């Protein structure tokens, strides 16, 4: 192919996008190998499979979707998403600690998105300035780079794990603090993406002490750099498969119970994906849930974000009718 083909039609960013997603590309090669009779092993699994290799499907979720009236599936959804779905998204993010956090004065807002990837893109588009760097661990999900690049952002990193012995084995708090402070010196907004629990690709989950140490570092930085907006994004794509699925909600609750102040310039936002938890990858259903003690802040964030995404996936549409089904009967799946 001519490298200059179409160059006059595409903007500079679009010209940098080439090829297929790595995982999908290798998946296609695996399928081709099997079709040709080769003895191939699928090393790209990114979905829950049955023992025979077929896609595992949550039958309760499948039934809830198929029982929805056609108008529920065909009609446009509100820009932010259906209220029942948004309420469910908050519960999926916070679990049993939701009511306690609300009693402590924490307010929430949620926006439906096209999958967890849509939630990440929405955060990149809203909580950082073009040209900024977003702080990531050095071992992270590869598509993060594309989401950030698409919003005119780049990234800085700190080590996935601490060097040497540490009482906090699954997070390098010192490295995090150092890189965060560097960004605070050059940007008026800083955002970090933390894929925890069940980090992709390692599967690691931070301990309760590790979560508290990182939260304390974020709170301390926001307090010290009061003119710099701080956003902690928790990528919870796999959280319901972790031993402590709502560990971050527990840590935030504990911190507030112990009197930790929440600076006005700190936002915690959680990226939710129903692809993994509800085995509906192709329906592209997710949400971005944000927490802050000031209701005016969450209202402003919610109203601003709804103009940037128009969710209309089938599950978002039928969730209003089937919210109780997903809440109450999901445990009945064998």
With bands split at pLDDT 50, 70 and 90, how would you rate the model's confidence at 75? confident
Whole-angstrom CA distances from 102 to 84, 94, 105, 140, 230 are 18, 10, 5, 32, 21
Amino acid 308: pLDDT: 52
> What is the mean predicted confidence (pLDDT) over 67-96?
85
pLDDT digits (tens, 9 = 90+) for 98-155: 999 999 999 999 999 988 999 999 999 999 999 999 999 999 998 999 899 989 999 9
Considering all CA atoms of the chain, what is the largest pairwise distance in Å, rounded to the nearest integer? 63
With bands split at pLDDT 50, 70 and 90, how would you rate the model's confidence at 330? very low
pLDDT digits (tens, 9 = 90+) for 193-239: 999 999 998 999 999 999 999 999 999 999 999 999 999 999 999 99
Question: How far apart, in whole angstroms, are the C-alpha atoms of residue 14 and residue 18?
Answer: 9
Whole-angstrom CA distances from 315 to 39, 115, 172 are 37, 11, 38
> What is the mean predicted confidence (pLDDT) over 238-245?
95
* List of residues 6+ apart from 210 with CB closer than 8 A: 168, 169, 170, 171, 173
Question: How far apart, in whole angstroms, are the C-alpha atoms of residue 141 and residue 195?
Answer: 9
């Amino acid at each position: 192919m001519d490298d200059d083909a179409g160059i006059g039609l595409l903007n500079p960013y679009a010209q940098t996008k080439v090829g297929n997603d790595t995982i999908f590309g290798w998946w296609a090669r695996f399928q081709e190998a099997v079709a040709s009779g080769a003895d191939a092993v699928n090393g790209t699994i990114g979905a829950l499979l049955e023992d025979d290799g077929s896609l595992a499907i949550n039958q309760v979720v499948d039934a809830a979707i198929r029982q929805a009236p056609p108008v529920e599936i065909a009609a446009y959804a509100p820009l932010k998403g259906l209220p029942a779905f948004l309420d469910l998204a908050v519960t999926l993010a916070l679990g049993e600690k939701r009511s306690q956090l609300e009693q402590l004065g924490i307010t929430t807002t949620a926006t439906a998105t096209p999958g967890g990837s849509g939630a990440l893109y929405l955060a990149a588009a809203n909580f950082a300035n073009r040209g900024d760097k977003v702080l990531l661990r050095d071992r992270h999900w590869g598509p993060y780079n594309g989401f950030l690049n698409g919003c005119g952002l780049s990234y800085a990193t700190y080590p996935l794990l601490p060097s040497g012995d540490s009482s906090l084995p699954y997070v390098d708090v010192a490295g995090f603090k150092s890189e965060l402070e560097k960004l605070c010196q050059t940007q008026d907004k800083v955002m970090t993406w933390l894929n925890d629990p069940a980090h992709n690709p390692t599967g690691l989950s931070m301990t309760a002490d590790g979560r508290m140490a990182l939260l304390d570092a974020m709170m301390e930085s926001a307090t010290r750099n009061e003119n710099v907006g701080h956003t902690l994004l928790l990528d919870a794509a796999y959280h319901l498969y972790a031993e402590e699925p709502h560990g971050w909600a527990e840590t935030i609750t504990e911190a507030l119970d112990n009197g930790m102040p929440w600076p006005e310039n700190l936002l915690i936002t959680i990226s939710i994906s129903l692809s993994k938890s509800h085995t509906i990858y192709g329906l592209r259903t997710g949400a971005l849930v944000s927490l802050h003690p000031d209701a005016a802040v969450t209202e402003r964030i919610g109203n601003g974000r709804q103009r940037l995404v128009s969710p209309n996936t089938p599950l978002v549409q039928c969730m209003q009718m089937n919210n109780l089904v997903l809440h109450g009967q999901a445990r009945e799946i064998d």
